Structure 1
């Protein structure tokens, strides 16, 4: 097995999941930040659940949902398949659910930090809902999108338990980096395992460094104003 295949597959999965999560998380995070329904924290808890739920437990229930006897089997029947599990599409769903809180929470915090007066001023100036989002909300929430995107991408890159449960170990289709490292260790191919694991260590360091720099830039104007 070449090293390029799991790297390319993992990058493709992480990028696809991140883009989908940006679309899905935007309305969810906005509603959680500004919705007035008393039970919204129940939804917030469900969204955050993957953070504390063991990946094997989450993967087990996703496997049932994506399998032949679950909704995934019914959906897969439209193109003649029996299941969404053990496929790239299944990996996207599983990794998306596991990474959802990493995108929603930063966006929720960013949306909640936008003062109501700013939105009211945009309404007073005659801005439509679309203009208000793209010209006011989006620029102000840009750090949240950046943090959420990086965190969701990084978490998907390193996900193991969920992708193993619903994707297995199919070369070229579901064998992502974390599975490849595990496979190399089982085969005692230490050099290849070191190479991939070392690359993930460097990647993790860059992610953490990026988060620190983003937070530093986000708080710098506030600090300078206090001085």
Structure 2
């Protein structure tokens, strides 16, 4: 057992955390204004936008991964443009993993934020507008401070979901040590070669990480609900 622990390679975990951090940061910047718009708009196209952003939840990872792989490859206009213009390949590298993860984890950032914004008292928002604040100021100064549980849930769950990705990242990034071989892919490879000891260790680490992430969400939301109850 000691020998197994000594041979444990932490690079896949570091790559998983790096991917999760970058993906979460990008999705937060993108999803914040978009989720605010969806929470406030009365457009007839709102259900269409919501359905599109929620697609990764119901689509098989193989389907989503295939279309992302095709869209980023040299055979597509997007992939060809980036490679011919900037000399950047968007598949089988870390950049491709980030792009794929942003698509795959989008609903896990969008939906909690949108639900949080929709739960805010409309009178509070109207008061902000009447006082002369713009929609952007209202979102940042009034809405965000009042959706801390939803905000924390969106960030933590998106991070955890990205850490646990497998199908999409394998199709788009492959398994390149030090570049695209994340923890979930490493576990898959250990199982393939029937190295169940290492697969158990890697899997146990992932289970512990996932449990701690979810536990932190429930603890934070529980404390916040108690504060709100005390105020009420």
- What's the TM-score, normalizing by structure 2? 0.90
- Give distance in 2, aligned partners of 1:168 and 1:130: 40
| Aligned residue pair count | 225
Residue 98 (structure 2) pairs with residue 95 (structure 1): no
| Aligned-residue offset at 1:186 | 1.6
Q: 2:197 aligns with which of 183, 187, 191?
A: 191
> Which runs of structure 2 are paired with 1:1-227 in the superposition (5 Å)?
3-70=9-76, 71-81=78-88, 83-221=89-227
Shift of 1:127: 3.0
Q: What is the RMSD of the two structures over their aligned residues, measured on CA atoms?
A: 1.9
Shift in Å, 1:223? 5.1
Unaligned runs of 5+ in 2: 1-6
Structure 1 unaligned segments of length 5 or more: list them: none
Maintained 8 Å contact 1:73/1:84? no
> 2-side partners of 1:49 and 1:131: how far apart?
31
Please give the per-residue CA displacement for 1:165-185, whole angstroms capped at 9, x wherever unaligned: 111111111100100111112
Give distance in 2, aligned partners of 1:128 and 1:52: 36
In the aligned structure 2, how far is the partner of 1:146 from the partner of 1:30?
A: 16
Displacement after TM superposition at 1:222 (Å): 5.6
